[in-house]
Structure 1
Amino acid sequence: MSSPLIIKLGGRVLTDSLALQQLLTTVQRLAALRPLVLVHGGGDQVQSLLQQLGHDSVKVEGQRVTPAAHIPIVAGVLAGDINSQLCALALQHGLQPVGLTLQAGDTVRCEVDTSRGAVGIPQPGSGKLLQLLIEQNYLPVLSSLGVSASGERLNVNADLAAAVVAQVLHGDLILLTDVAGILDHAGLLIDIITAEQAPELISNGTVRDGMVVKLTAALQAAQMLLPTAARRTIAVAGWHDANALTRLARGEPAGTRIHV
């Protein structure tokens, strides 16, 4: 069996029903090529519901600050609404989805990032459950909700969570975004970013806001997968480009690839 491909979903695709249908059609095609695991966030939906309920919500360096009082809302959106919707759509596309949170099977462990409230810093756990599901042709669909060692539910950045899942499964990683990949100041795609180039791209503002987290997560995955990273696909790519995603699933160049 080929190594799994971990795909992180987020952004506009999760709020646009037609876009999500398009992406699930692509996922169906990719599943015929190799085993898949989906990891999703849902920051836009969380933000919207918090505002509707009269809560303030802020981000620092692209990551949400989550007071403990917000966790029931975050959990309901991530592990409830979005996860069940993705699983329902995947089922319609002939897949066999299994909705999970990060702590299922001790897949991802979390430390508490006290500077951001009830936010988890993901750490690798066990890949046993996901491997068992993959071997039986199931599609694991993980929401970015974690749990601390003391049982506290935590909001986890989905890009970082996906990077840890890639480490746990020794798999490839694609972080989906609303654009073709990481773009330069002229709006052109950057084909390759190395660990040496990344700090300057961040400091000069080429990579900013939420894309900083994506680049950080991709670099983290590449570092975690050493010494096999040179043989792995680690990329940031647009969800709307089925051809690019197919190329990445085959190990071919597309999007912005991250090298160490």
Structure 2
Amino acid sequence: MIDTHCHVLPMCDDGPAEWQTCIEMAEHAAAQGIRTIIATPHHRRAPYNNPPEKIRELVRRFNRMAEQEKLAVTVVEGQEFHWEGNAPWQRAVEGLQTLGSTGYALLEFPHRRTPASIKEDLATFRARGLRVVIAHPERHLPFIREPHKLYALLREGAYAQLTASSLTGHHGKAVQQVAWTMARNGWIHLLASDAHDLVYRPNRLGAAYALAAGELGDRLPELWQRNAERLIQDEELHREEFVTRRAGVRWWNIRLP
């Protein structure tokens, strides 16, 4: 498996505080069958600032340690870019590190609002040869309240990445309901751990894949795994046929089959 969103690098954000935890997180990932981790430290989310050169150095150091420890895991560069919008492009993307140094950029939005300029921003990203992956849309309040807002961004070419712990219910029942409904609607293109540590936000990617296969069958989990491989190869991700929900319907009022 490939984990496309993980806070495994130490001493740079709210992930591990020391190298020992970092190595233990990698061992836990390897035990689930994860062989490649895209390290995605927060960037431009106060107080975290992790430009590409800092991330590259931490990744090089991790991979040297992993080789010494004979870990069957490789870490590659990535970043979770906190996207506020409404800023001059050159300044806004200063320090942008794409996922695995491909053409995919992982963006997280402020929890309570979607940037007003996001459609224009998506067009600018496309014009510069970049494709946007939206991090944990199931935890973004505007998408929970008005699901058609996420649908509109997917129609504009964005991709959506679901957090494993949301499927397993570790972010609460409301978020779990959102996560499963988005998955059933075909609105999810990647599944990732978003792991931060070994205790409070551990890597549950293997458990989430197993749960999804049991609930949804193999088709969607296999699509997510193949998309992770396509992302690493800088290939176009595959999409499911979109299913719309009536605007204004709250996710927790939708009865899942």
- TM-score bracket relative to the smaller structure: 0.3 to 0.5
Higher relative CO (Cα under 8 Å, sequence separation at least 6) belongs to 1
Tell me the TM-score normalized by structure 1: 0.38
Higher strand share: 1
TM-score, length basis structure 2:
0.38
